[in-house]
Structure 1
């Protein structure tokens, strides 16, 4: 049984979507609405629109949209029931569990988080027990203080097959629970044993403070060097970042990205509380979006070897696309930041951070290293690639400055390089113009839903149907002027279902809102309904507009009915004539 409409109505009344979204996205007010960079895809120019009076959001870049419930569902990768539970807790409301829905998924998540928390406590306790002496000695040799060990909850997994299984069994968890949480594995013979054994353990904590997974490191040269939790209902390595739960509170204003747990922890111990690391995977767009919610600037502090350089080259465009200003740290005189700090001190590393290299200069230097600039052919190839890189910069000032840097590298004049950059820029703009022209040549396609499964058969009617939905959301009192309009009269099944649902809310004395429709519509459908609701509509001339919209809907309906038989046509004509007379009588 679904969650009661009245509960959802009260929840939405207590949830301001601007406040909710502002917890994750930096919003700027423009007129009566708010704009920011979308948290669901990478972008530099804000296309994420929040409309307070309709309590919806819509991204005009990736197409995501909906109400507060959809926002939490998308942001946290939760089911409808789980997202409502999160919002209810935020609003100080108690979930109506007796009404069913899908509480099993939420209970499973809560059980898994509690199991992870208890496992983290067990690992930490073992670190100081006789069986953890080897691990404690390793961490001390790496220079970590007792305070750091406690702050990060570091632990140790004993060198046995079932230490954690046995420990958690005492606390009421069976092997299946540990398998679900990724704390145990099963071999081909069906034997179940601990995933982490004889490893230093790093708890992975999300931004809400929940233990969602673990990383385990060997203390010798055996492989794999790091072993991480698999993806589970509470953990996804592409959507979480190590130490962000601490770094998000930093006053530094910028984030330092390292290659691993130990580098991050060492920086925190030295006082750089803005260090983080990705979790056993290359930096992803999801990582970048997550970081952009808390920081404007990023400094890449990767190793200077081939793998580190390649990782930095991949990370730079991803971070830039998410709206972060990127710099690259070059550590000289040490293999990594930890060694540099131990050798030269914290203040020296702070100065190194302040002198970190602009990412464009870094990429130019890496590009230069690929060519022999004493050879004319290779020099030309270098300058052509550099021109492509520089032409992508958004401002003329940047293009002039970095063009001058490239010219100096190759020993040519700034004027010659400027001409090469201009040529690359013209080519880029021509390509973008052609793409835009192709889009402009199909204006009708711009009116269609992005999802092919939701495409309109009758655009004229569908546009009027959209208008009816907007007016109902803006002014529920207009329901009394809608004659006996029903969703089955709509040409678009989606819009018709949405109309019936919103009308049902209004007839129950509730406020029609899109947010609660997430219970009965798919994410794809909600994206389009948010697009519809975000379009301009004035309630000032609502009655007149409503008359026009209904006239169009029923007029187009008459045309459709001609293909379906005389009886249906006659019924439609009568309804249309009755509606027209009714509308004309309205003041």
Structure 2
């Protein structure tokens, strides 16, 4: 439904934004001025100690000066509770006492039909629950108890039992005056094409209702209780109420906990989801036995920016996760991705929680791989790189996958990340063959620690190199400026030149032909930034970079990272101008003429201006850095370039 702007304005006018936001935050009494409609609090979207979240009742807008979150009434509700925009409008209209326009007649008829089918599904859920508690539901009850489900969990999720009878549900619904056509349309009864009598779809199964975003029962999942029964799990078919490609099991319960925690976990089966929920992990949903769809991916991003996919650790679970990767790639967008938790072979999430508790599960999901790492490992694990043709085949495989990403910025970042990674991998494999090394990890042993060269701004230049590696989109956007940067260290200069060559869009040269760009010394520099704190090869960790730039631990907004990156470029360029002026002054001692004097004066003026700009920017960034610190604390911008 589309809503008129006048309607939205009326809702905003009747409901003060501070009243809505105040349900989730505590206003700071020192900074807040209610008489002016000016409210301050600690941000509900990220952790902070000092209030940087501002609500302006006069403009009906909120903004966090720490993480950058901003919006109005409707955006706040969609961001904090995971509601869709229409749902947010309906909720706020009711609170504000604003009448919504009546839907068009055709839409009203469709909604009435869906409501009728939901009533039929509700009757079926009550029937299954009754059978679960009855004597013939003993097998189903024993199975549920064996799985460790508590009585309150059985009640919350409305466990049921479908009798092993041809038409028990059909007869029950008929007594409730439900027409057979509606039973069929709701997916509860099957009508054979050959004219035989219709019969129950679910027979002899443990029944779990599937609920929509409003909590209405719209479908069912049934697990066979016969050890030899097939299929093991059976879901309702597609109906006007139930669309497998758009729904997620337990979404209506998980939505708010996911927003509060900033996390969402996706498992394969609804029984796994129920087991995790029972253990206290309430931000969990389950897929419904089908491959991920684009709609499901987009829905999950309304729960959390990087949901964790946690599938069974067997071959089938890994295969399902890999299929999910292929569905996710096309819709990737800035700030949104997925992580992948591969459990030990033969273990599912339920097993893990029972054996290791919530702490064990949290530890497993905390160690989840990024989407990039999952894709990299998937392709590298089966790749042979002993010939130019096989290297080219691997590169094409990556190119074809990345080409499906619609978001140009994300696509370009993946392209640059993969170019750097492939160049490093190809170089390392070639060196292994030359040296007869048996190392198969794709990285050499950790380089010997070297003394810091005595070059100006060594730490800032090193930090610049690491940021180019971790954020190749910064390299891509500012490549012309970076290419002319006056770096004082020769190794940094060569590293910069190699990265700029890889980022050059005009080059169509395959990465395998550019592996010579990274010799031993540059390879060691890549290695320095892409090992974890223990020195093991884990290329996504960037712990050395984080040590130089501690604020990265708190995952600061990309606009802050870019502002800091540009500041470091300013500092390096400023040092280059100072060196240029020193050279001019040395020349002036021997031969000062009017042209040289004018150049020196212009340089001096430019230096003064640039120094003032750098000092001002550094102060602004340092102030923002303080607001971005996590509770554990990280360094100020002033302490970064060491």
Q: Counterpart of 1:177? A: 182
1:380 lines up with 2:386 in the alignment: no
1:288 corresponds to which of 287, 297, 302: 297
Deviation at 1:380, TM superposition (A): 3.0
Contact map agreement 1:361 1:402 (CA 8 A) in 2: no
Q: Counterpart of 2:49? A: none
1:362 lines up with 2:374 in the alignment: yes
1:258 lines up with 2:267 in the alignment: yes
1:147-166 pair list within 5 angstroms: 147-166=152-171
1:240 corresponds to which of 243, 247, 250: 247
Contact map agreement 1:11 1:88 (CA 8 A) in 2: no
SS of equivalent residue, structure 1 residue 221: coil
Deviation at 1:299, TM superposition (A): 0.8
Which whole-Å CA distance do the structure 2 matches of 1:210 and 1:90 have between them?
25
- From the superposition, tell whether residues 101 and 270 of structure 1 become closer, same or farther in structure 2 (CA, over 3 Å): closer
Which whole-Å CA distance do the structure 2 matches of 1:236 and 1:18 have between them?
37
Q: Counterpart of 1:196? A: 202
| Per-residue CA distance 1:235-255 (angstroms, 9 max, x = gap) | 211111001111112133111
Q: Counterpart of 1:123? A: 128
- From the superposition, tell whether residues 262 and 101 of structure 1 become closer, same or farther in structure 2 (CA, over 3 Å): closer
| Per-residue CA distance 1:421-444 (angstroms, 9 max, x = gap) | 87775459989xxxxxxxxxxxxx
SS of equivalent residue, structure 1 residue 187: coil
Return 5+ residue gaps in structure 1 as ranges. Answer: 1-6, 36-45, 56-69, 77-82, 432-587
Contact map agreement 1:242 1:261 (CA 8 A) in 2: yes
Contact map agreement 2:379 2:394 (CA 8 A) in 1: no
Q: Counterpart of 1:140? A: 145
Return 5+ residue gaps in structure 2 as ranges. Answer: 22-44, 46-52, 63-67, 75-83, 403-409, 429-439, 448-490, 510-642
Which whole-Å CA distance do the structure 1 matches of 2:232 and 2:498 have between them?
47
| Per-residue CA distance 1:33-82 (angstroms, 9 max, x = gap) | 999xxxxxxxxxx9xx9999xx9xxxxxxxxxxxxxx974xx99xxxxxx
Q: Give the TM-score, by structure 1 length.
A: 0.54
Deviation at 1:204, TM superposition (A): 0.8
Larger RCO of the pair (alpha carbons < 8 Å, separation 6+)? 1
Q: Counterpart of 2:358? A: 346
Which whole-Å CA distance do the structure 1 matches of 2:229 and 2:387 have between them?
48
State the aligned residue count. Answer: 385
1:410-559 pair list within 5 angstroms: 410-411=442-443, 426=504
Contact map agreement 1:387 1:420 (CA 8 A) in 2: no
Which whole-Å CA distance do the structure 2 matches of 1:337 and 1:404 have between them?
37
Which whole-Å CA distance do the structure 2 matches of 1:244 and 1:284 have between them?
15
| Per-residue CA distance 1:5-45 (angstroms, 9 max, x = gap) | xx9999667556999xx99xx9x99x99999xxxxxxxxxx
Q: Counterpart of 1:325? A: 337
Which whole-Å CA distance do the structure 1 matches of 2:71 and 2:368 have between them?
36
Deviation at 1:344, TM superposition (A): 2.7
| Per-residue CA distance 1:335-358 (angstroms, 9 max, x = gap) | 212222222333222111111122
- From the superposition, tell whether residues 213 and 306 of structure 1 become closer, same or farther in structure 2 (CA, over 3 Å): same
Deviation at 1:409, TM superposition (A): 3.7
1:315 lines up with 2:334 in the alignment: no
Q: Counterpart of 1:394? A: 413
Contact map agreement 1:203 1:213 (CA 8 A) in 2: yes
- From the superposition, tell whether residues 207 and 71 of structure 1 become closer, same or farther in structure 2 (CA, over 3 Å): closer
Contact map agreement 2:312 2:345 (CA 8 A) in 1: no
| Per-residue CA distance 1:71-104 (angstroms, 9 max, x = gap) | 74xx99xxxxxx999988996649879x966643
Which whole-Å CA distance do the structure 2 matches of 1:217 and 1:428 have between them?
56
- From the superposition, tell whether residues 94 and 418 of structure 1 become closer, same or farther in structure 2 (CA, over 3 Å): closer
Deviation at 1:325, TM superposition (A): 2.9
Which whole-Å CA distance do the structure 2 matches of 1:112 and 1:181 have between them?
6
SS of equivalent residue, structure 2 residue 342: coil
SS of equivalent residue, structure 2 residue 338: strand
SS of equivalent residue, structure 2 residue 199: strand
Which whole-Å CA distance do the structure 2 matches of 1:262 and 1:227 have between them?
13
RMSD of the TM alignment (CA)? Answer: 4.9
1:204-243 pair list within 5 angstroms: 204-219=210-225, 220-243=227-250
Which whole-Å CA distance do the structure 2 matches of 1:264 and 1:214 have between them?
15
Which whole-Å CA distance do the structure 1 matches of 2:342 and 2:252 have between them?
26
Deviation at 1:138, TM superposition (A): 1.5
Which whole-Å CA distance do the structure 2 matches of 1:134 and 1:210 have between them?
27
Q: Counterpart of 1:583? A: none
Deviation at 1:260, TM superposition (A): 1.4
- From the superposition, tell whether residues 189 and 417 of structure 1 become closer, same or farther in structure 2 (CA, over 3 Å): farther
Contact map agreement 1:267 1:338 (CA 8 A) in 2: yes
Contact map agreement 1:258 1:275 (CA 8 A) in 2: yes
- From the superposition, tell whether residues 412 and 197 of structure 1 become closer, same or farther in structure 2 (CA, over 3 Å): same
- From the superposition, tell whether residues 252 and 91 of structure 1 become closer, same or farther in structure 2 (CA, over 3 Å): same
Deviating more after overlay: 298-307 vs 397-406: 397-406
Deviation at 1:300, TM superposition (A): 1.2
SS of equivalent residue, structure 2 residue 351: helix
Which whole-Å CA distance do the structure 2 matches of 1:89 and 1:173 have between them?
36
Contact map agreement 2:384 2:391 (CA 8 A) in 1: no
| Per-residue CA distance 1:272-320 (angstroms, 9 max, x = gap) | 1111112221111100111112211211112334433333233236446
Q: Counterpart of 1:449? A: none
Which whole-Å CA distance do the structure 1 matches of 2:218 and 2:379 have between them?
40
Which whole-Å CA distance do the structure 2 matches of 1:176 and 1:428 have between them?
63
Which whole-Å CA distance do the structure 2 matches of 1:121 and 1:108 have between them?
20
Q: Counterpart of 1:568? A: none
1:104 lines up with 2:109 in the alignment: yes
Contact map agreement 2:339 2:371 (CA 8 A) in 1: yes
Which whole-Å CA distance do the structure 2 matches of 1:379 and 1:278 have between them?
36
Which whole-Å CA distance do the structure 2 matches of 1:417 and 1:318 have between them?
35
Q: Counterpart of 2:277? A: 268
